[in-house]
Amino acid sequence: MVRYIGRRVFYMLITLFVIATLSFFLMKMLPGSPLNAEDKLSEEQKAIVLEKYGLNDPVPIQYVKYLGGLVQGDLGISFKFSNYPVTEILLDRMGPSAQLGFQALLVGTILGVLFGLIAAISHNGFLDYTSTIIAVLGTSIPNFVFAALLQIVFAVNLGWFPVALWGEFEHTVLPTIALMIFPMATAARFVRTEMVEVMGSSYITTARAKGISEPAIVFKHGFRNSLIPLITVIGPLAVSMLTGSMVIEQIFAIPGIGEQFVNSVFANDYPTIMGTTLLFAFLFVVIILIIDLLYGLIDPRIRISGGKS
């Protein structure tokens, strides 16, 4: 197990290196420069400013310098926020996004699993159709539509929650609801489909024949097996939730990282783009590793390799 994890961590580092390299060169292909007054400066003046940021060096040298900084944990200084380290930007902005993402994922998954279960149990019944409709709506209607609707109804008309902005827990309620619709609908769909399939399989029939009580069959034999595909989708979903949604953050004026990331791309803020990309990639590979380890726990049939010791 330890050796397996060790090897996975090694691969993770390689993955991150490849991502860093790819995004570095892709970023260099972005049109424009990080200058803000580009239309006002002569070529010579531009060169002087770029010199300060080390952008006059040949690209390979910039790349080596960048990797050098990275190894020392230095993500550089933002081009947009003058003198401000990228690490600080990530720390400032990651918090609200992660909090919202976590809340939405938690509540969304729990509710989704619940809906899925109910739907599967009342297979082809009224509740099944109701939750299927909710699931279809949830996955097909974009979350900013919900966000705008929630804002108008619960903040402007009813005045139960703040319209937008960040600070207290009450500020997180509406964005969390808007964000959780998608994981909820996804979870509901997967759990329902799997449960229906599992409940039709022969071992369930066997269990029934043995006279095991219905709740025990549903939860012990059926539910657990239906979780595997759910975990597969929850992983990447978790990453996308935690790294913030640009649209939701914009609508609710939340100082999150999703919005910041998009902005730094528009501003050609190279160090911030790189830092954010790497942070997202890191989160992704770590969560994938956790998911892989989880598989083995949930279903003993899926054995992780490397258990030779």
Partner 1 sequence: MKLKKLSLLLVFGLMVAVLVACGGSDSGTQGGGTDTESADGEKVLNFINGDAIPSMDPSLATDTYAFQFLGESMEGLYRLDKDANPVEGIAIDHEVSEDALTWTFKLREDAVWSNGDPVTAHDFVYAWQRAVDPATGSEYGPYMMGGVIKNATEVNTGDVPVEELGVTAPDDYTLVVELENPTPYFLSLTTFGTFLPLNQTFVEEQGDSFATSTDTLVFNGPFTLENWKSTSTEWSLVKNEDYWDAETVQLDKVNFTVVKDAQTKVNLYETGKVDRTDLTSDLVDQYASHPDYMIQPETSVFYLKMNQTRNEALANKNIRAAIAKAYNKEAIVNEILNNGSVAANGLVPADFAPMPESGEDFREVSGDLVTYDVEAAKEYWAKGLEELGVDSIELELLGDDSESALTMNEYLANQLSTNLPGLSVTLRNVPFEQRLDADTNMDYDLQVSGWGPDYLDPNTYLNLWVTDGGNNKMGYSNPEFDTLIEEAATTLATDNVARYENFLEAEKILMEDAAIAPIYQRAKAYLVSPKVEGVYYNAFGFDWEFKWASVGSAE
85-124 residues near partner 1, rule: CB under 8 A: 88-89, 91-96, 98-99, 101-102, 106
Between 230 and 259, how does the x/- string for binding to partner 1 read (CB under 8 A)?
--------x---x-------xxxx-x---x
Alpha-carbon distance of 1 to 205, in angstroms, equals 36
Residue closer to partner 1 (CB basis): 290 or 304: 290
Site string for partner 1, 274-293 (x = CB under 8 A): ------------xx--x--x
Distance in Å, CB of 79 to partner 1, minimum = 9
The stretch among 17-25, 79-87, 117-125, 127-135 that binds partner 1 (CB under 8 A) is 79-87
CB of 212 to partner 1, least distance (A): 15
CA of 176: how far to CAs of 23, 37, 247, 254, in Å? 30, 38, 13, 12
Minimum CB separation of residue 21 from partner 1 in Å reads: 24
Residues 138-177 that bind partner 1 (CB under 8 A): 148, 151-152, 155-156, 159, 162-169, 171-172
Residues 172-231 that bind partner 1 (CB under 8 A): 172
Q: Which region among 7-15, 48-56, 111-119, 187-195 touches partner 1 (by CB under 8 A)?
A: 48-56
Cα(160)–Cα(231) distance, integer angstroms: 35
Q: Which of residues 23-42 bind partner 1 (CB under 8 A)?
A: 30-33, 35-42
Instruction: Tell me whether residue 101 or residue 271 sits nearer to partner 1 (CB atom).
Output: 101
Minimum CB separation from partner 1 for residue 123, in Å?
Answer: 27
Please state the closest distance from residue 122 (CB atom) to partner 1, in A: 27
State the minimum distance, in angstroms, from the CB of residue 33 to partner 1: 8
Q: Give min distance, CB of 208 to partner 1, in A.
A: 21
Amino acid at 65: K
- Among 84-92, 114-122, 177-185, 210-218, which window interacts with partner 1 (CB under 8 A)? 84-92
- Confirm or reject binding of residue 44 to partner 1 (CB under 8 A): yes
Closest residue by Cα to residue 248 from 170, 183, 164, 167: 164
